[in-house]
Chain A
Amino acid sequence: MKTGISLPAELAEQIERILADLHRRTGAECILLADISGQLITAQGQMRAIDPVLVAALAAGDVAALTELARQFGEENPHGSFLHEGESMNMYLFNVAGSFILIVVFQTGTPIGLIRLFVRRAAERLYPLTAEFEDLMGQPKQVPDANFGATLAEELDKVFGGL
Chain B
Amino acid sequence: MFINWKLREINLKIVYYGPALSGKTTNLQYIHAKMNPRMRGELVSLKTRGDRTIYFDFLQLELGQIAGLKPRFNLYTVPGQVYYVGSRKLVLQGTDGVVFVADSQWQRLKANVETMRDMEENLRALGYDPHTMPLVLQCNKRDLPGIAPLPLLQQQLGCNGAPCFASVATQGIAVFDTLKAIINLVVAQAQRQL
Contact = CB atoms under 8 A, between A and B. Distances in A.
Q: Say whether A associates with B.
A: yes
Interface of A: 1, 3-9, 12-13, 16, 35-42, 51, 53-54, 57-58, 61, 64-65, 68, 138, 140, 142-149, 151-153, 155-157, 159-160, 163
A80 B110 CA distance: 40
Contact of B191 (A36, A142, A148, A159): A148
In the A-B complex, the 3 residue pairs with the closest CB atoms = A37-B94, A1-B127, A12-B6
A140 B190 CA distance: 11
A3 B1 contact: yes
Contacts of A9: 5-6
Contacts of A138: 193
B67 to A, nearest CB: 4
Nearest to B62: A53
A89 to B, nearest CB: 18
Contacts of B193: 3-4, 138
A54 B44 contact: yes
Given A53-B72, A149-B187, A163-B176, A39 B93 contact: no
B4 A61 contact: no
Given A1-B128, A37-B94, A68-B90, A155 B63 contact: yes
Interface string B106-141: 000000000000000000001111000000000000
A64 B141 CA distance: 33
